[in-house]
Structure 1
Amino acid sequence: MDKKLDDLVISLKDEMVNSISESIKIKSVRENPVEEGPFGEGIKKSLEHTVKLAKKLGFQARNAEGYVGIVDFGSGKTFGVLGHLDVVPEGEGWEVPPYSGLVKDGEIWGRGTQDDKGPMIAALYALKAIKEYCPNPSKRIRLIFGTNEESGWECMKYYVKHEEIPDMSVTPDAEFPVIFAEKGIVNYTISSLTDNGGAGLVMESLQAGEAANMVASTARVVLKGVAPDIFNKIKNFKPSNEVRIEIRESDGKVEALFTGASAHGSTPYKGHSALAAMVDLLADLPFSDRELCNFLHLVRSKIGYEFFGESLGIAGRDSMSGELTLNLGTMKLVGGEIKLVINIRYPVFFNEAMVRTQIEEAFKGCRVEMHNNKNPLYVSPDSDLVKMCRQVYREMTGHDEKPIAIGGGTYARAVPNAVAFGALFPGGIERAHQPNERVSIDDILMVARIYAQLFLRFLQS
C-alpha cells in the first residue's frame, strides 16, 4: 500500500460524502425520453450533475448524448471503471425519504447509495487523489457512468458502438474480493388474452411489482361481482409467505392490497413476494373468464412461491456459479391481456435456449417472449486482472478471500476483460433494491482507498 496516496484519499472523506449525498437527492429512475435525455428527466439531471462534478474536480469530462458520462485522466493504455447512475424505483417501507441523501449515525441513506452512485462517486474521488499524487501518468484511467443498467443496458450498447473500449476494466457494482463469474440473466414476458367481462366474478384491474429484477413488494387487484362466499374466501386467505393483505369494499367492488418485502432479483429468497401471494389467492377464485383462470392456475402451479424453477423443470446448478434462481417480477392487466414478467439467473454452463424451451412447454397456449438476455461472464481467476484486484484487496484489508461467482449482472459483461470488484464487503448487508438502502461512510471510504491503490497499481505496471 502506498501510504501517502492513502492519506490523500482519507483527507477527501467529507467532500466525498457530501457529493454522494447530493447525487442521491436526484431521483434517477427511468421515465419517458426527453430532449437530450433518452431515459427521462431524472436520469438526465443525474448525468449532467455528475459530469459537472467531475469537471469541478479538474477532470476532462463529457456527456455522450445522454447515454453515458465519460471522465478521463491521462492518456495511453486504458483502465476502465464502469458503473451506473440510474436506480430502481424506491418501493415501500422506507424509514427516511428515499431521495434525501440523509447522513446520520455514520451512514448515507437513500436509493443508489449502494447501487451504484455511492461506489462510482467513491471511484471518482479515488481518481482525484491519483490526480494530485501523480499528475502526469503515461496511462489512462477512464470512468464510465452508465444511465440505464437497471432497465436494458442501452447505454452500454451505445458506448461499445461509439467509444473506445478500455484494455481492462472493473465495476464497483457487486462484491469484494473480486467476481470472476456471473450467471446469465434473462427476462421472459408470459401473457394471455382475456375476455374480462360479462356476468360473474370479473377482474377490473391488477398491478403487481416494481421491476423484473426486484421481488414484488406490493400488489393490488380490484374485483367486481364478488359473491358472499367468494368474499369470505378472500377474507380468510392465508399466504404461504409473510405477505400482509388488506381488503377494502366500496361501490360494489373488492380491492385487495398485498404488502411483502422487496429484495434483489438475484436473491429472491431474501424477500417476500406480494405477487406470489396474490396469484395464490386469485388462482382459487371462479372468474367468469376461463382463459384468465387457466393463466392464473399455470402461474401458481409452475412457479408459485418457488425460487429455483423446480416446477418449471429448469432447476439446476453448476459448481462454478451455483443454482438457477427465478423471480416473479411484475404482473399487470392491460386491456384484453394479462402479462407476467419473470427474471431468471442461470448458471455459467447453462444456456438460454434450453431455459426458454422449458418455459414455452410449461406455458403452452400462452405467449412467451424472451428479452434482455445477458450471457454468463467468466474471467479466469489466473488472469492478470483478477490477480491485480486480489493483491490490492489483500494489501488494503488483510484478507485473502477467493474470487467468487454471483447471480447479479454487472457491466463487467458489457466489455472484454472486465470483472466486478466491490463495493460490498464480505459480511456486509446487501440493501440494493430494498427499502432503507444505505452505506456505511467507513465502508465507502474504504472503497475509495482500495480503488486509488488499484489505479496506482495499473499506472505503475
Structure 2
Amino acid sequence: MYKKKIEQYIEAHKQEMLDDICTLCSINSERSAYQEGDPFGEGPSRALAQALKMAEEYGFSINNYDNYVGTADLNDGEHQLDILAHLDVVPAGEGWTVTQPFEPIVKDGKLYGRGTADDKGPAVAALYAMRAVKELGIPVTKNVRLILGTDEECGSSDIEHYYKVEKEAPMTFSPDASFPVINIEKGRFPGHVTASFEVSTENARILSIEAGIKINVVPGKAHATITGLTEEEVRPMAEGVTKETGVQFEFQAEEDAIVITAVGEGAHASTPEEGKNALASLLLLLDRLPFASCGQTKLIHSLTECFPWNDTEGKALG
C-alpha cells in the first residue's frame, strides 16, 4: 500500500541523501586518544554531532549519551525497534586510487570513501527510511529508534555504555552487513597469546616484527628487521614465498640490519580469504631463513605451525 510512495520519496531525496552521506564520510572518525568529553577522540565525536544535527533538522527527537552514542526517535510511542548503526571507521589505510578516503565522490554509479559502506552510508539510509515514514504520514503504533554508535570497530564499548542506562528494544537489526539479513556472521578465536624467551645475541637473528592496525583487519603490510644476513641471501627465499602467497617483499638497508616489508592485501576479518595476509607470509619467510637457533626463531616456527599461511579457519589449531 505504501511501498510506491516510499520508493518515490527516496528517489526524490536521493541526491540529498548522497550529500548527507558524503558530509559524514568527509569526517575522519577513526578512533584516537581519549580527551575530556571525547571518549574515542575528536573525530568520532564530530561525526556524531553532525549526524545528530541532521536528524534534528529532519524533525526527530535526539539524545547524546556522553559522545558514546547518539539516538534519533521516530516518535514518542512505545519503544519497539532499535536500528543499530555506527559512525566510527577503521583506519583509512593505503592504496586508495579513485579518491582519497575522506574525500567521498560518486563515480560510475558508485559512492567511494571510507565509511560509505561501513557504516555511515547505511546509517544515513536508515535515517531516510525514518524520514520517509514520518514525512509521508505513514501510520505506526510504536517507536523506532536509530542508535548511532562511535566505537563499533574497536569493541563496542559505546553500546555497553548506552545499555547501562537504556533498555534494549524487543527487536533490533543492524544495517551493517549484507542484504537482507545475516544469521551468525562469523566465528573467531579472540585469544590473547603471549610468549617469552631469552634475549639472543647471535649474529643472524630477528630484531623486531611489526604488523596490524586493528583486530578486525587482515594485515596488508608487515615489517621485520633482521641482522646477520644479506639481502642476497634473503631475496631468493622471498621470491619463493611470493610464488606461494602472492605477497611481495621489499628490502631496505639500515646500518647492520635489513628491514623486510611484506606487501599483501588487507581485508575485513570476517572475509580473510579475500585478502593476502602480509604477516602470515612474512612469518613464513622468516621461518625459512637460516637464523641461529634461539628462543625467537623457535617461536616463529611455532607461530607458522599454529597460524600457517592461508589457514583462515583455524584448522591448524584444531
Superposition TM-score, scaled by structure 2 size: 0.91
Deviation at 1:134, TM superposition (A): 1.8
Deviation at 1:229, TM superposition (A): 7.1
**Contact 2:197/2:295, CA 8 A, preserved across alignment:** yes
Secondary structure in 1 aligned to 2:126?
helix
Residues 63-83 of structure 1 show CA distances to partners (whole Å, capped at 9, x for unaligned) of 101111111121214211001
Residue number in structure 1 paired with 2:34: 33
CA distance in 1, matches of 2:238, 2:282: 13
Deviation at 1:221, TM superposition (A): 1.2
**Contact 1:197/1:289, CA 8 A, preserved across alignment:** no
CA distance in 2, matches of 1:232, 1:120: 47
Deviation at 1:156, TM superposition (A): 1.4
Structure 1, gaps ≥5 residues long: 314-461
Deviation at 1:197, TM superposition (A): 4.6
* 2:316 paired residue among 311, 316, 323: 311
CA distance in 2, matches of 1:187, 1:258: 24
* 1:265 paired residue among 260, 269, 272: 269
CA distance in 2, matches of 1:52, 1:41: 16
In the alignment, residue 303 of structure 2 is paired with which amino acid? V
CA distance in 2, matches of 1:230, 1:133: 71
Greater shift, 127-136 or 148-157, is seen at: 127-136
**Contact 1:196/1:202, CA 8 A, preserved across alignment:** no
Greater shift, 242-251 or 133-142, is seen at: 133-142
Residue number in structure 2 paired with 1:291: 295
CA distance in 1, matches of 2:307, 2:314: 7
Residue number in structure 1 paired with 2:259: 255
CA distance in 1, matches of 2:189, 2:89: 19
In the alignment, residue 19 of structure 1 is paired with which amino acid? D
In the alignment, residue 298 of structure 1 is paired with which amino acid? S
Q: Is 2:136 the partner of 1:133?
A: yes
Label 1:235 to 1:283 Cα distance change in 2 as closer, same or farther (>3 A).
Answer: closer
- Number of residue pairs matched by the alignment: 313
Higher strand share: 1
Counterparts in 2 of 1:306-385, with a 5 A limit? Answer: 306-313=311-318
Residue number in structure 2 paired with 1:225: 228
Label 1:235 to 1:183 Cα distance change in 2 as closer, same or farther (>3 A).
Answer: closer
Residues 75-95 of structure 1 show CA distances to partners (whole Å, capped at 9, x for unaligned) of 214211001111111222111
In the alignment, residue 78 of structure 2 is paired with which amino acid? G
Secondary structure in 1 aligned to 2:191?
strand
Residues 328-365 of structure 1 show CA distances to partners (whole Å, capped at 9, x for unaligned) of xxxxxxxxxxxxxxxxxxxxxxxxxxxxxxxxxxxxxx
Residue number in structure 2 paired with 1:432: none
Greater shift, 111-120 or 72-81, is seen at: 72-81
Residue number in structure 2 paired with 1:90: 92
Deviation at 1:174, TM superposition (A): 1.2
Instruction: Compare relative contact order (CA 8 Å, sep 6+) and give the higher one, 1 or 2.
Output: 1
Q: Percent of aligned pairs with the same residue?
A: 35
Residue number in structure 2 paired with 1:316: none
CA distance in 2, matches of 1:154, 1:302: 30
Q: Is 2:205 the partner of 1:202?
A: yes
